Amino acid sequence: MGCESETIELLRETGHKMTPQRMMILTSLRHAPGHLTAAAIFERVKAAYPYVDISTVYRTLAVLKDMHLIAETDMGVGDATFEWVGAERHHHLICRTCNSVTQLDHRYLVEVGSRIAQDLGFRADLDHFAIFGLCAACQRELADP
């Protein structure tokens, strides 16, 4: 079964219809090389299907986010961005100086979530984070006068 077929089946199992517009939105997200804004997704879909409405994009993104198939993240570019995550959770380290982005495995935040639950009795949603700071190269550059 192809990746789109799996997603169609997941949507149907949760009572959601698969429309051509939703399919194009899913395909845009699944095959994007990284994060996309809602506006970028809208433009991609509109190029193939000019009758799509931006509200359809936002509603579909909300459904996919509720299903934990996509993640919404503030990557520091102004608008929220969306990325297909499926079952693989990950996060991002973003350098405030050079803007490099490094993917961070979810295992680093599993312990944080466990500690929060244990210490505070709070179950945190740690699905997708952008953590800002300085990369090793920029730290070295700042240290060397």
Query: For position 23, what pLDDT does the model report?
Result: 84
**Tens of pLDDT along 72-101?**
887 777 788 888 876 667 788 989 899 888
Query: For position 2, what pLDDT does the model report?
Result: 60
The DSSP bridge partners found for residue 82 are: 36, 72
CA angle 108, 73, 57 (to 5 degrees): 140
What domains are there in the chain, each with its CATH number? 1-85 (1.10.10.10), 89-145 (3.30.1490.190)
Query: For position 1, what pLDDT does the model report?
Result: 45
Regions of the chain short of the pLDDT cut 70: 1-4, 86-88, 145
